Amino acid sequence: RQPITFIIILLLIVGHSIMVNGTTETNSSSHGLSDVERVLVPIFDSFILVTGVVGHILVLIVICRTMRRGRGQPSGGRTGGFQQTNANGTDVLLLSLSVADLLLLSCLPYHTVAIATRHWPFGSFMCKSVSFLSAMCTAASAFTLATLAFARYIIVVHQSKAYQWRREGHLKVVAGVLWIPAVVLASPQFAWRTLDNHKARENLACFNFLSDKGQLAYGVCHFLLAFAFPLGIIVIAYVKIYHFLKTTRQGRTTQTDHLEHYHVHVTQTSALLVLAFALCWLPSYGLMFAQIAEGDKAAGPLPHFGPFATFAHIMATSSTVANPILYVFMSEKFRKELMDLGRGVCRKRPS
């Protein structure tokens, strides 16, 4: 199971946050695409769209069932209290991640059409809206993953605090509040995105009309707030978790051994989700800064970015299904809940 998971992560190595740049990459680089790429990319995007929507809907159903069932159950002791903390705590954050990915998938058809037709046919408002939604969701995902890592640290290292957080519903509030800075960080997209006609109608592109310094300032700000800072929190949290689990292995009882196994398994799954997301962001920011470095040409066709931008787009769309795929392969709880859901549906069918 582990090799399959790491292969999936390697396949996701490029660009979840490619969508942070709105449609600049999609429109501009599409001028340099071959006819084969213009046909294959929409086919691949359609497959990812269907797979991603179905996968995330299943994730949402399973998480909602788990949370609803966990609300009415007693703690059941130390282990039961921990598992309820996870069901009612971090599952809320995973729910938020799935919502963000579904919103990103809703932007995919616009990018696909822009690639296939080599221009932006949806008008100025959709240019701004799609760019805003993409930037907001990538930022919200980064903030949520950082909170997920911190919550995992609290649950593993400070279980009494984790139980208190669950009872007081702190993580539910935090999961909602995290979208506020994401909205603020993405809001300049509404002001700065516009349409530009490059020589002919078929070259109409949705691009950023900021000056070079303005684009650089916004790019650096987004990189620091939506990538570097959350990633720093994530790394520190998981290093502390690893250190705690390593130093508490001596003198284990049967109960604590079972609990530690649960800790390790859930932490590995969470860490892989974070790793896949982090690896996907780096090439996107590299492409963004490379386009900023182009200066005046950043708004127009950039054929020398074509092959990389196309590959980045394909990997970016693949990254939106990372959450359900990793859960299918890594989470025993998810597989069990999914099987129970399937059996329940089959029993309800008329004979």
Q: Assess whether pLDDT exceeds 60 at residue 32.
A: no
Q: Span 207-226, mean pLDDT? A: 78
Chain centroid to CA 265: how far?
21
The answer to whether position 346 is within a domain reads no
Residue 314 Cα distances to 75, 116, 240, 319, angstroms: 45, 14, 35, 9
Each residue's pLDDT tens digit, 56-94: 998 898 888 887 776 655 444 444 444 444 555 678 888
Most confidently predicted of 166-180, 198-212, 226-240: 226-240
Q: Span 180-200, mean pLDDT? A: 82
Task: Kindly give, in sequence order, each residue whose CB lies less than 8 Å from that of residue 208, ignoring residues fewer than 6 positions away.
Answer: 21, 22, 24, 192, 193, 215, 298, 299
Residue 251 Cα distances to 159, 201, 245, 254, angstroms: 18, 72, 12, 10
Whole-angstrom distance, CA of residue 158 vs CA of residue 161: 6
The answer to whether position 215 is within a domain reads yes
Task: Kindly give, in sequence order, each residue whose CB lies less than 8 Å from that of residue 194, ignoring residues fewer than 6 positions away.
Answer: 124, 127, 128, 206, 207, 209
Q: Assess whether pLDDT exceeds 60 at residue 105.
A: yes
Query: DSSP alpha helices (H): ranges in 158-253?
Result: 159-168, 170-177, 179-186, 188-192, 212-223, 229-247
The answer to whether position 50 is within a domain reads yes
Q: How much is the mean pLDDT over the chain? A: 74
Whole-angstrom distance, CA of residue 337 vs CA of residue 190: 41
- Considering its fold, how many domains does the chain have in total? 1
Give me the domain span that covers residue 296.
2-341
Q: Assess whether pLDDT exceeds 70 at residue 190.
A: yes
* Backbone φ and ψ of 200, nearest 5°: -150, 165
The answer to whether position 57 is within a domain reads yes
Contact 245, 263 (CB under 8 A): yes
Task: Identify the residue with better confidence: 32 or 109.
Answer: 109
Task: Kindly give, in sequence order, each residue whose CB lies less than 8 Å from that of residue 249, ignoring residues fewer than 6 positions away.
Answer: 260
Whole-angstrom distance, CA of residue 303 vs CA of residue 291: 12
End-to-end CA distance of the chain: 37
Stretch among 60-69, 92-101, 153-162, 215-224 having the lowest mean pLDDT = 153-162
Q: Span 287-311, mean pLDDT? A: 60
- The pLDDT of residue 304: 53
- The pLDDT of residue 247: 80
The answer to whether position 125 is within a domain reads yes
Task: Kindly give, in sequence order, each residue whose CB lies less than 8 Å from that of residue 318, ignoring residues fewer than 6 positions away.
Answer: 11, 12, 48
Task: Kindly give, in sequence order, each residue whose CB lies less than 8 Å from that of residue 99, ignoring residues fewer than 6 positions away.
Answer: 60
* Backbone φ and ψ of 300, nearest 5°: -105, -170
Task: Identify the residue with better confidence: 65 or 164.
Answer: 65
- pTM of the prediction? 0.78
Task: Identify the residue with better confidence: 8 or 113.
Answer: 113
Contact 15, 283 (CB under 8 A): yes
Q: DSSP string of 207-219?
A: EE---HHHHHHHH
Q: Assess whether pLDDT exceeds 70 at residue 295.
A: no
pLDDT band at 24 (very low <50, low <70, confident <90, very high): very low
Q: Assess whether pLDDT exceeds 50 at residue 307.
A: yes
- Report the candidate in 24, 69, 11, 97 with the shortest Cα–Cα distance to residue 311: 11
CATH number of the domain that residue 47 is part of: 1.20.1070.10
Whole-angstrom distance, CA of residue 53 vs CA of residue 101: 9
Q: Assess whether pLDDT exceeds 50 at residue 21.
A: no
The answer to whether position 314 is within a domain reads yes
- The pLDDT of residue 140: 93
Q: DSSP string of 272-298?
A: HHHHHHHHHHHHHHHHHHHHHHTGGGG
The answer to whether position 351 is within a domain reads no
Amino acid at 172: K
The answer to whether position 349 is within a domain reads no
| DSSP label of 300 | S
- The pLDDT of residue 17: 38
